[in-house]
Structure 1
Amino acid sequence: MRMAAGVKAQNQKRTKVELALMVLVAISIVRQFFLGNYHNMFLGILTLLLFMVPKLIEKKLRVEIPIGLETVILVFIFCAEILGEINAFYVRIPIWDTILHTTNGFLMAAIGFALIDIFNRSERFSIKMSPFFVAFVAFCFSMTVGVLWEFFEFGMDWFFQTDMQKDWILPAISSVKLNPDGANVPVKVAIESVMINGEEWNLGGYLDVGIVDTMKDLMVNFVGAIVFSIVGVIYLRRRGEGKLAASLIPQVKGQEEEGCEEASEKKEAVE
């Protein structure tokens, strides 16, 4: 009875968070319609569809996404689409993209971890992996998704002339090509202005068109993946214990009760 009450309370919290975000998205859609920004209105509708993904995953894969992880996913989608794209937080707040890529690394590691852990606990597989190996595979999964996303950004910029890989202003560069002696020794060159279409622009540096943004995104993705991998190792080594890790790890339906029973048995054995 106590467990059922706890699950019911979690579902109520989940519904409130989801409902609040959906109301904010609906307001944004209506606002964009009256402003005549139909592209942004489409992004709002897409956001509502993305909000349904966690429920779809739960139904199709028969897994239970904890309230902590689902809240992070929903807030991530809202921050990326509504705040980032429609309200231009990517431009207004320089670290916004960095925050989201860090969160993306965390989320992708959670998904990779859940997939491997589900297989690892299945009776159909005879190979059982250690907690550190499961965390390592989750980390690799997250980094692979991060790299594929950067491929996508580059492809969009290259073929459709978008600017998903944001420009950076670099005040100086180091180049072997500019060494007057022809030696394989880099020469540091300070740059104050550049020529664009025959016109001089005082940008205070060199206009980088993607490499810095790409490497920065991959590095913060790395940080997010590492953080979740550590959480995952702690969860596997103390399965059934620890509310933080349990609130972030998807489980096959029925395993949550099993984990609670294991934790109770351990507690009784100690007593």
Structure 2
Amino acid sequence: MKVPFQKMHGLGNDFVILDGRDTFLRMDGGRARALADRKTGIGCDQLVVLERSELADVRMRIWNADGGEVESCGNVSRCVALLLGGNHRIETKGGIIVASVDGDDAIVDMGVPSFAWQDIPLAYAMDTAAMPVGWESLQNPFAVNVGNPHIIFFVDDVEAVELDRLGPLIERDPLFPDRINVNVASIGDGFVRLRVWERGAGLTRACGTGACATAVAAISRKLMNGPVEVRLPGGALTIEWAQGTSIRMRGPGTFVFEGMIDLESLV
């Protein structure tokens, strides 16, 4: 059965989006990996399936390129908002988010961040605002769950960090039973520069939830005042947040191309 798909990206973080609201689409880790393969599939960082929801306007399921299903993705949320148009409540595995469109940008209410160690989750209790742990030069990170789990290290120079080597070590450390997204950030003059090792996807040009998590960490540590401009390799996002409130993320999403794919031929 051939089904339509759309390819989009958020600041270089790219997705294949399938609409399963009217036609049931069987999706699992193997099929998601096949679709994400850049040589034999369509190629993407994440595979997205839209489904009907009993709780919101639409349900959004997300698989990383390694076939693991994840809770949330900020860049996907912006792209889906722009694809659907208007205002929508979107059900994700990490909770319900609210998205709207303003010109070429999407504005997404990502919900209230969680700071408790068991909500990240961590393997055991510790202060998540200044974790007494480290990996080589990366020390005393900040951990937060913004729909999915993130750890943030503030460093002098993000480019000097061997994130391609340290990222997978930290992601799969036993301290993180659900694995973790790894962020390295440096404070600039009125902005934050950020690089992200994304759980299940690797180094990425942009990570919306990583930008949200890093802005929350920077504001919590009084390194920045909101709104925070977060500059990633693929471009910039604007994040607004204050203690006890929801995170609001603003940024673009880009349509690339569309086509048809025979799902049964993949696996």
TMscore range, shorter length: under 0.3
Q: TM-score, normalized by length of structure 2? A: 0.26
Of structures 1 and 2, the larger Rg is shown by: 1
Greater share of residues in strand: 2
